[in-house]
Amino acid sequence: MTNSESPDISGDRTAAPSAGGAEPVSPTAPTTAESTPPSTPTETVRLGVGEKPGDQIGLYKLLRLLGEGGFGSVYAAEQRKPVARTVALKIIRLGMDTHQVVARFEQERQALALMDHPNIARVFDAGATQTGRPYFVMEFVKGVPINEYCDRNGLSIKDRLGLFQQVCLAVQHAHSKGIIHRDIKPSNVLVATHDDAPLAKVIDFGIAKATANPLTERTLFTEDRQLVGTVEYMSPEQAEGSLDIDTRTDVYSLGVLLYELLTGTTPFSRDELRSASFVEIQRIIREVEPLRPSTRLSRSLAAPAGATARRGVERNRMSSLVKGDLDWIVM
């Protein structure tokens, strides 16, 4: 697409689709960001419930709302100067600019600013509206979640592993910068086509944690024993709600992601985890031994013909391809 063309974004995902990052969650009911009155009466009158397509924020004209989270909204936006391009603009929602929310927002912005890797969405710019609400501008990724991409295109086990390797390199880069992602999952890994080849992009550092220097000067509080992330991809220590986690929590989540890419499902039932109590979630993740990928695939109900076809392999060969090294790597 040339700079003069109008971007077609009707079916695209953005580099920050969840808008607010994964919020701290209760096992029984998701919590939302604290609600506060709008920043100023002027802003309420000017924007009503929030921005809309056609509004101008700094150098950027909003084109379309792409997603909303607990405290943030993400728009596809058009930049004309000094270069013409489509970007993703993430902004704190009207009335949600509490101290805690702004601190998390600044933390994500700074985490992305530290990154310089082809498999991590880049941040281009940052600023604040006239009424002081912060925003940042990042790379617009025309992609879909990694599991959807693999299934839609019938990727073989080998090709899935190639994409997964890109994700591992991105996470390794983040760790080298002292950043733990804490929410590795398919929807936070978008795959786009670049030079006729699939390119994975890790996105959404909304709940990232710094291992050394803080990412923001604002004090950021996370209560002990509070689940932060997505339960079916959490490591045991993250599920404990412990504040003392390290890079191994991302390595565990990578294992869950690979398990899903190979088998089409997560090690533990989504429905079971999401309906369980805090204590039961901890017990399941800490004590229950999930089926190995090859065992999961060998069971006819878990690996219907359609699932194997989407992986470009005959049904009776699927389990044998995974059995062995891949079983041990994932588990």
| Distance in angstroms (rounded) separating the CA atoms of residues 284 and 273 | 8
Residue with tokens 């979640």: 145
Mean pLDDT along residues 94-122:
89
pLDDT digits (tens, 9 = 90+) for 4-63: 333 333 345 555 445 555 544 443 333 333 333 333 333 333 333 578 899 999 999 999
CB 92 within 8 A of CB 101: yes
Arithmetic mean of pLDDT over the chain: 79
Whole-number Å distance between alpha carbons of 136 and 108: 10
Task: Report the C-alpha gap between 25 and 183 in whole angstroms.
Answer: 12
Specify the pLDDT at position 33.
32
Query: What pLDDT is attached to residue 48?
Result: 38
E strand or H helix at 282: helix 278-287
User: Once rounded to an integer, what is the mean pLDDT over residues 81-101?
Assistant: 90
CA distances for 179 relative to 169, 170, 184, 209, 215, angstroms: 13, 11, 13, 6, 9
What mean pLDDT is predicted for residues 153-170? 95
Domain extents in the chain: 24-139, 144-330
Can you give the pLDDT at residue 323?
61
Which CATH number among 3.60.110.10, 3.40.50.720, 3.20.20.150, 3.30.200.20 corresponds to the domain 24-139?
3.30.200.20
For the chain, the first-to-last Cα distance in angstroms comes to 43
183 is catalytic: yes
What is residue 117's predicted lDDT score, i.e. its pLDDT? 97
C-alpha distances out from residue 167 to 44, 112, 207, Å: 41, 16, 18
Asked if residue 142 lies in contact with residue 12, where contact means CB atoms within 8 angstroms, the answer is: yes
Task: Determine the average pLDDT of the residues in 54-77.
Answer: 91
DSSP type of residue 67: E
**Reported confidence tier of residue 140, pLDDT bands at 50, 70, 90:** very high
**Which of 140-154, 195-209, 220-234 comes out lowest in average pLDDT?**
220-234
Q: DSSP letter for 211, please.
A: S
DSSP string, 212-273: SS-S-SS-----TT-EES-GGG--HHHHTT-S---THHHHHHHHHHHHHHHHSS-SS-HHHH
For the question of whether the overall pTM of this predicted structure is more than 0.75, the answer is yes
Instruction: Report residue 296's pLDDT band, with 50, 70 and 90 as the boundaries.
Output: confident
CA distance 2 to 126: 25
Q: Which of the residue ranges 63-72, 215-224, 238-247, 311-320 would you say has the lowest mean pLDDT?
A: 215-224
Task: Please pick, among 12, 151, 183, 250, the residue that the annotation labels catalytic.
Answer: 183
Would you say residue 300 has pLDDT above 50? no
Higher pLDDT, 175 or 294: 175
Provide the pLDDT for residue 39: 37
Percent of the chain with pLDDT over 90: 44
| Residue 311 pLDDT > 80 | no
- How many angstroms from the chain centroid is the CA of residue 258? 15
Q: How confident is the model at residue 145 (pLDDT cuts 50, 70, 90)?
A: very high
Which CATH superfamily includes the segment(s) 144-330?
A: Transferase(Phosphotransferase) domain 1 (1.10.510.10)
Task: Work out the angle at residue 166's Cα, subtended by the Cα atoms of residues 207 and 210, and round it to the nearest 5 degrees.
Answer: 25
Q: Please say if the pLDDT value at position 108 is more than 60.
A: yes
Residue 213's pLDDT is what? 61
